[in-house]
Structure 1
Amino acid sequence: MNRTSFSVRFWKIKSYKGNRVTTHYVRWVVDGREWKEPFRTLAHADSFRAQLMTAARQGEAFDVTTGRPVSWKREENVLTWFSFTLAYVDAKWPYAAPNHRRGIAEALTDATEALLAKDDSTFGADTRRTALRWAYSNRVRDNTDPPADLAPVIRWLEANTVPMAAFEEPGKGALLTRGMLDRISRTKDGRTAAANTANRKRMCLNNAMEYAVEIGVLSANPLKAVNWTKPRTLTTVDPKVVINIHQARRFLAAVEQHSERGKRMKAFFGCMYFAALRPEEVVDLRTDHLISLPENDWGEMRLTNAEPRAGSRWTNSGNVRERRELKHRAAGETRHVPIHPELGAMLREHLDQFGTGPEGRIFIGPRGGLMTDRAYLKVFHEARARAFTEAEATSPLLDVPYALRHAAVSTWLNAGVPAPQVAEWAGHSVNVLLRVYAKCIHGQQHDAMRRIWEATKPGTTTS
């Protein structure tokens, strides 16, 4: 049982001026033990100190284990939405990929903005979002206290989001849920969010509510009681972004002619076009992945890992990229991909000219570091503008590097390679492959109609 005390003394607020931030500390003593709380502004510090002093003047006991009035602790026993989300992130973090962690944080941040118990002017929206971003990322990875400028915001959020029990109140629960769904369907500035974004965030929130049911916080998932029209999403690749082999060769030549850095990236982009590699798979490509690289013939590579870019706050290491298993594959599973003779020549030339980096990396920066997004995107867009005609450059054609992979898969399908083989090389399931690339398969309709006509034309006999 916690001990309480009426022996409380208050000291003056102490301000510490750092290089960038001034921190104001509220200091007080409960039963001989000193306590202090940091605040970014003097006004917030004064307000917090006044609340403590009011409780002491009213004869309220203070908890010696927390330093706060006993009544504050009783209020804290109510599980709020924000406190629940912290527990949910703690449970998901060890098992989620870095990009999935970021997606969870984005969904919870939006939802929390719709679930504030009160929305006064104490902290602005941008400040609250910064605090939430810290709470859903750095707090989990580093297990540290919040920075001095975010501590009061975190404390405010803990006390000013709706209690989880409100989701089960008749009428109110549905309104809260609808408000949450409305928020994730809009961007920060109020515009309609992309359908894929809204659906992804809804999936995250649904998982969070299922977790609330699992641990006994809620008796049922409130999202299932609300009729919400799922936004329709575009799941197929737009043929207008897919380049042909002539355009691909023009682009790769422009990359090589761009600069010394561009010469390092010709084979980099070549792997996306000729082997349908994802950018994060090319970044991780190493010499031991090249099983065979003969001259004037097909070679083979065996992919083992990828290094997707997530951002330093979402990885375990604190690096921008983190090496993981291949997308849609279990840890240790590999994928074999053929090396087109033209790509084989690019790779051999690249290795002869630039060698390899640490751990046998094939693609590295001029200074030996990782090939960064900023570096290859700059070359990509400038080479695209140089390689394409004015009409091509102003069209959606090859609008992003990932469109090189789309072009590779489309080329394979249009060349008549069976879908199961294409799916295996590209790292897709057959169902996903045919759904995503349905609009990119050209030139097979006439052959299909000819076969049907041959089978059904008048006078045809069946055996």
Structure 2
Amino acid sequence: MDTTYNVRIWATQRRKNPQGKITSYRVRWKLAELPPFHETFRGKTQAASFHAELVSAQRKGIAFDKASGLPVTMTRRKDAVNWLVLARQYMDARWHDWSPNHRKHTAYALMEVTIALLPIDNRPSTKDLRRALTRHLNRNTRSIDDGDATWSALRWSERSCPDTSALEDPAVLRPLLQALDVNLNGERAAANTVRLRRRALDGAIRFAIEQGSLDTNPLQEIQVKKRTQSLRQVDPRAVVNPMQARMLLAAIGELGKQGPPLVAFFGCMYYAAMRPEEVCGLKKGNLVLPSSGWGEIYVEKARPEVGNTWTDSGEASEERGLKHRDDDTGRTVPCPPQLTELLHQHLSSYGTARDDRLFRGARDGGRVGSTTYGRVWARARQAVFTTDVVAGPLAKRPYDLRHAAVSTWLNGGVEPTRVAKWAGHSVKVLLETYAKCLDGGETLARDRVEDALRGW
């Protein structure tokens, strides 16, 4: 590297348009006999920060690279790849392979990895840093001007982020993995959260190997304590019984304008064990309904809520295949008489959206937002339960209706293989998830023990 200490730095120039309005700021400096170098910035703060770095390096006696014009502390090896650059390239390369939710979770995980790799000294605010990195990793928001603070935080991150090769150093990788075990508030992160973060890191490292930035995967060469991840079991205290479920549905029907259109929405979750995103994607063509009695629902698509910046369409949700299934694979769920009646009432009163969906937002006809139905659900709980019960776990979330449906089927004697098929689970996951809700088996076991004790 050809360097020099002969550096001259000029004052920052303000550039104006013909109307006299300042449009940008230019920082100019010169090395020895070379032509002047310059960098142009949109904001005054960014220009001042860059100018200050150059002046600081000059005062500290740091050599400047003649090729790039920058202090050697700000240059990188020609073959080195900045971690943040690699993370952005990884997101772009896999963008079309991932669902919007997967994009979002991976970007947030890579943001956490990047923050853990950045130095502590002279950091921008945590809020600006997280916002800047998340925006930068999202190809839909990368070009949005979020103001000087966000732009400055991104610029600082680009300059301060180490090369990908730094991950080969156990002294860097081990603290990074430890940092991924902790949330922003300092508390220990959930096992599933840690798994997602490490999976994103591993994916980016494998991409770096493909690109030639790394030779091997350093994660395979370092020993760390593995977090035990147990399947989250349903809390029986959160599961409503049939009478409580009917009372809640009845209360929803009395909640002004927002409640009545959502009675069948919640009914699908309770009587057919459908996930909220599956109910949002339900269309009239998926129903086989007699005038009364048992019908069938073919659950074919889902519309998960993710945010319009992560979708290709620019909408807050996109239609996709069911969870853990191929895109064209659905499942058939029985529709009990109670739900058949609710669906007929809904179709008669509210019809369908233009694309045949049963449930739609009141304003634009889009997806029913989780904020909307969550607010209705909270009001229904307050109308039905006492203050003490409202403060407890019983039916705390709308999703608990799905748990109640599956628990009712199992305790009603329906064989697990059929329940798993209706609910869209594997039998193994079904039995592990709902193990604590099989009250009938526990009661029968205790009766048998009591009978045995009488015999002695």
Into which bin does the TM-score normalised by the smaller protein fall? 0.7 to 0.9
> How many Å separate the matches in 2 of 1:218 and 1:250?
60
What residue in structure 2 maps to residue 83 of structure 1? 85
Seen in structure 2, the aligned counterparts of structure 1 residues 420 and 130 have a Cα distance that, compared at 3 Å, is same
8 Å contact from structure 1 (residues 23, 40) kept in 2: no
CA deviation profile, 1:260-289 (whole Å, cap 9, x unmatched) = 210011111000000011101111111111
Deviation at 1:402, TM superposition (A): 0.7
What residue in structure 2 maps to residue 182 of structure 1? 178
What residue in structure 2 maps to residue 129 of structure 1? 130
Q: Tell me which amino acid in the other structure corresponds to 1:255.
A: I
What residue in structure 1 maps to residue 377 of structure 2? 380
Q: Tell me which amino acid in the other structure corresponds to 2:178.
A: D
**Structure 1 residues 300-315: aligned runs within 5 Å:** 300-315=296-311
Seen in structure 2, the aligned counterparts of structure 1 residues 145 and 311 have a Cα distance that, compared at 3 Å, is closer
CA deviation profile, 1:55-95 (whole Å, cap 9, x unmatched) = xxx996566xxxx5596665464222222212222222211
| Structure 2 residue matching 1:361: 3-state secondary structure | coil
What residue in structure 1 maps to residue 140 of structure 2? 141
**Structure 1 residues 181-220: aligned runs within 5 Å:** 181-220=177-216
Range moving further from structure 2, 233-242 or 217-226: 217-226
Question: Matched residue pairs, number?
Answer: 432
8 Å contact from structure 1 (residues 199, 231) kept in 2: no
8 Å contact from structure 2 (residues 231, 433) kept in 1: no
Seen in structure 2, the aligned counterparts of structure 1 residues 314 and 360 have a Cα distance that, compared at 3 Å, is same
Does residue 296 (structure 1) correspond to residue 297 (structure 2)? The answer is no
> How many Å separate the matches in 2 of 1:367 and 1:313?
20
What residue in structure 1 maps to residue 5 of structure 2? none
Seen in structure 2, the aligned counterparts of structure 1 residues 344 and 45 have a Cα distance that, compared at 3 Å, is same
Seen in structure 2, the aligned counterparts of structure 1 residues 146 and 74 have a Cα distance that, compared at 3 Å, is farther
What residue in structure 2 maps to residue 13 of structure 1? 13
Select which of 240, 244, 254 maps to 1:247.
Answer: 244
CA deviation profile, 1:317-339 (whole Å, cap 9, x unmatched) = 22211111111111111211111
| Structure 2 residue matching 1:87: 3-state secondary structure | helix
Range moving further from structure 2, 143-152 or 374-383: 143-152
8 Å contact from structure 2 (residues 136, 142) kept in 1: no
Q: Tell me which amino acid in the other structure corresponds to 2:104.
A: R
Seen in structure 2, the aligned counterparts of structure 1 residues 399 and 147 have a Cα distance that, compared at 3 Å, is closer
Does residue 414 (structure 1) correspond to residue 417 (structure 2)? The answer is no
What residue in structure 2 maps to residue 99 of structure 1? 101
Range moving further from structure 2, 38-47 or 354-363: 38-47
8 Å contact from structure 1 (residues 38, 148) kept in 2: no
> How many Å separate the matches in 2 of 1:192 and 1:218?
30
| Structure 1 spans left out of the alignment, 5+ residues | 1-7, 459-463
| Structure 1 residue matching 2:42: 3-state secondary structure | strand
**Structure 1 residues 59-458: aligned runs within 5 Å:** 61=66, 75=77, 77-116=79-118, 118-137=119-138, 140-141=139-140, 144=143, 149=148, 150-168=150-168, 173-224=169-220, 225-290=222-287, 292-370=288-366, 371-445=368-442, 447=444
8 Å contact from structure 1 (residues 213, 220) kept in 2: yes
Deviation at 1:27, TM superposition (A): 5.5
Seen in structure 2, the aligned counterparts of structure 1 residues 345 and 317 have a Cα distance that, compared at 3 Å, is same
> How many Å separate the matches in 2 of 1:73 and 1:424?
58
Q: Tell me which amino acid in the other structure corresponds to 2:91.
A: V
8 Å contact from structure 2 (residues 407, 437) kept in 1: yes
Equivalent pairs: percent with the same residue?
35
| Structure 2 spans left out of the alignment, 5+ residues | 1-7
CA deviation profile, 1:159-185 (whole Å, cap 9, x unmatched) = 2122222232xxxx2232221122221
Seen in structure 2, the aligned counterparts of structure 1 residues 80 and 228 have a Cα distance that, compared at 3 Å, is farther
CA deviation profile, 1:14-54 (whole Å, cap 9, x unmatched) = 2789xxxx985225599799862223516325426758999
> How many Å separate the matches in 2 of 1:16 and 1:409?
67
> How many Å separate the matches in 2 of 1:205 and 1:232?
18
8 Å contact from structure 1 (residues 357, 368) kept in 2: no
Seen in structure 2, the aligned counterparts of structure 1 residues 16 and 126 have a Cα distance that, compared at 3 Å, is farther
Q: Tell me which amino acid in the other structure corresponds to 2:429.
A: V
What residue in structure 2 maps to residue 4 of structure 1? none
What residue in structure 1 maps to residue 42 of structure 2? 38
8 Å contact from structure 2 (residues 182, 188) kept in 1: yes
Range moving further from structure 2, 24-33 or 102-111: 24-33
RMSD: 3.4
